[in-house]
């Protein structure tokens, strides 16, 4: 028969293991980011950078009196273009990789759209560590429930 502490430790370890597994499942696949940003005239506009798998279509609508857009894609090419008035910028990833869109304008800029990105691999490692710690807690609880070692 397991002791009360062993049962409690096993339950806590199982909960931690379940949290790690749920987080791992939620981090798989594509993530959708809705963007709705407005920048004042002359304010610096941060670059839009994302890592996405091949074949995903990215789309941003930029509204400004005039602006320049520079897009660097995983294929290694950089496309620069000047625009007058509101414009939709759309591109498709060829191979998997990172795209960077830099927008420069002296007037007020409004950026709206949807970007699709894949999860950062470091989060998958974090989820693995959480699951391993749950297993370790369960193992120690089962071991201590059997016989209390010396020194504890």
pLDDT in tens, 13-61: 999 999 999 999 988 888 888 999 999 988 888 998 888 888 888 888 9
How many C-beta atoms lie closer than 10 Å to residue 122's C-beta? 8
Between CA 50 and CA 120 the distance in angstroms is: 10
Q: At residue 150, does pLDDT exceed 80?
A: no
Q: Tell me how far apart the alpha carbons of residues 4 and 1 are, in angstroms, rounded to a whole number.
A: 9
3-state secondary structure of 121: helix
Answer yes or no: are the C-beta atoms of 16 and 129 closer than 8 Å. no
Closest CA to 107 of 49, 47, 63: 63
């Amino acid at each position: 028969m397991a002791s009360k502490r062993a049962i409690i430790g096993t339950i806590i370890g199982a909960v931690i293991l379940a949290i790690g597994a749920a987080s791992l499942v939620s981090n798989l696949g594509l993530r959708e980011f809705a963007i709705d940003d407005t920048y004042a005239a002359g304010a610096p506009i941060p670059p839009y950078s994302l890592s996405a798998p091949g074949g995903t279509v990215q789309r941003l609508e930029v509204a400004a009196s005039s602006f320049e857009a520079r897009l660097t894609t995983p294929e290694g090419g950089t496309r620069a273009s000047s625009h007058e008035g509101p414009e939709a910028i759309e591109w498709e990833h060829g191979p998997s990789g990172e795209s960077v869109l830099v927008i420069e304008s002296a007037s007020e800029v409004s950026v709206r759209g949807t970007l699709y990105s894949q999860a950062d691999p470091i989060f998958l490692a974090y989820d693995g560590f959480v699951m391993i710690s749950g297993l370790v807690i369960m193992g120690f609880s089962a071991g201590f429930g059997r016989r209390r070692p010396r020194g504890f």
